[in-house]
Amino acid sequence: MSNSARFWSDVDNHVLRYGGDFVPEIIDSARGSYVFTEAGRPILDFTSGQMSAILGHSHPEIVATVRHGVATLDHLYSGMLSRPVVDLSRRLAATLPDPLRKTLLLTTGAEANEAAIRLAKLVTGKFEIVSFSRSWHGMTQAAVNATYSAGRRGYGPPVPGNIAIPTPNPYRPDFRTPDGQLDWRRQLDFAFDLVDAQSVGSLAACIVEPILSSGGLIDPPAGYLTALQAKCRERGMLLIADEAQTGLCRTGTWYAFEREGVVPDILTLSKTLGAGLPLAAVITSAELEEQAHERGYLFFTTHVSDPLVAAVGNTVLDVLERDDMANRAATSGAHLRAGLEALHAKHDIVGDVRGRGLFQGLELVVDRETKQGSDELGRQVTRRCFELGLHMNIVQLPGMGGVFRIAPPLTSTEQELSEGLQILDQALTEVTSG
């Protein structure tokens, strides 16, 4: 048996499948905007790994930080603090508007959202959590119960007190203005009429992604987040912004919520903060932190405030600040968007292009008039892209077409972006002609 055959035999015999199919080649290494198969084939990474490697793979400054940290200070007892942890907490506060200034450092987005929801419940004394009908906030208990885009069937009853509201999708409007656009104000009023009808009077928080990612790369209309916060304020609810994928320059600003000047009560960061390593953060005001502390807030985990990944987070901020990555993402994002718009003009199966900065979505349909999607069409384009040397991620949800989530590293060159667009163009052409 060859080494490759043995590898896939071991996969079949010993690897527990956790969602979807595995990529059909063995990945051996990664560098910059590319991953490399064991056979040496380069594959352009248009998803930054798991939407995380914003500085590309094996960034030399992160490599140096990890080597130093492993050799000097990697992991501590949870009650011990180190300089990297305190430095990163201070520096994150400096990137954010007041009153966001107190940080808890954890490992994953789900863990950060778990901690944020737990904090919101404790300080409000309430338990009901509102989130979008296409949300994805993680796979731990509170996070998964606020997740509606996938993974709800077959696991028994959810925790009481979770309420979904309609997702404001401008491409597929449910409430329409006379000219056929999304009437998001009427939709939002309707949503909170439903919230009030379902609530038992214990509304604690609303948790939202400023741009929904796994829900289909949906960017709510300008003004929506401001109006949503007002609905929360009227009911004494906290607003939690989950910026796992949108935070730290990806959308062309440091944070996606900045577009409207909204300041959430609690902010969660994860994927982009560690640039591919397991680092997450919960950030809130001194007032809420004090209330939580007085009430005995408890969120001990094995890797809370670990110094090694905190040092990596400091290096990520070094690079983002020094290289003005917010402006670079805006400029590169304009180049990417222009290329995607050209594909929309060329290919009838491209129904919509949306997103901000280097966080773009492209929705496939079999009919632009009806907006009917096709799972098979999405699978074929994804597979052909991979064969041609481009890794793409497609979201396929009921009632929607396949939506590509396009999130290249912020360090991607225009040449690399153009290469990816050319491969995508070729895949779309070959699939539709076939």
Joined tokens for residue 265: 């009560």
Please, what is the Cα angle at 381 between 375 and 384, to 5 degrees? 135
Whether residue 346 lies in the annotated active site: no
290 Cα distance to chain centroid: 29
Whether residue 271 lies in the annotated active site: yes
Whether residue 384 lies in the annotated active site: no
Q: Which single residue is written with the structure tokens 């919520």?
A: 257
- Distance between CA atoms of 112 and 110, rounded to whole angstroms? 5
- Distance between CA atoms of 238 and 241, rounded to whole angstroms? 10
The residues, ordered by sequence, that sit 6+ positions from 156 with a Cβ below 8 Å of its Cβ are none
Q: In what order do the strands lie in the sheet with 402-406?
A: 350-356, 359-364, 402-406, 393-396
For residues 81-98, one letter each, b for 16 or more C-beta atoms within 10 angstroms of the residue's C-beta and e for the rest, the string is: eeebbeebbeebbebbee
**Overall size of the chain counted in residues:** 434
Characterise 190 by phi-psi region: left (phi > 0), alpha (psi -120 to 50), beta (else): alpha
Whether residue 136 lies in the annotated active site: yes
For residue 11, how many C-alpha atoms fall within 13 Å in the half-sphere facing its CB? 14
Positive or negative, the CA dihedral 100, 101, 102, 104 is positive
- Check residue 27 and report its DSSP letter: E
- Distance between CA atoms of 86 and 81, rounded to whole angstroms? 7
- Distance between CA atoms of 88 and 102, rounded to whole angstroms? 11
- Distance between CA atoms of 87 and 395, rounded to whole angstroms? 37
Q: Which of 45, 114, 242, 265 is catalytic?
A: 242
Whether residue 111 lies in the annotated active site: no
Q: Which of 102, 111, 114, 245 is catalytic?
A: 245
Whether residue 209 lies in the annotated active site: yes
Q: Which of 101, 102, 126, 136 is catalytic?
A: 136
Strand, helix or coil for residue 61: helix
Q: Which of 102, 121, 271, 337 is catalytic?
A: 271
Q: Which single residue is written with the structure tokens 């805006």?
A: 330
Strand, helix or coil for residue 74: coil
Characterise 176 by phi-psi region: left (phi > 0), alpha (psi -120 to 50), beta (else): beta
Q: List the catalytic residues.
A: 136, 209, 242, 245, 271, 405
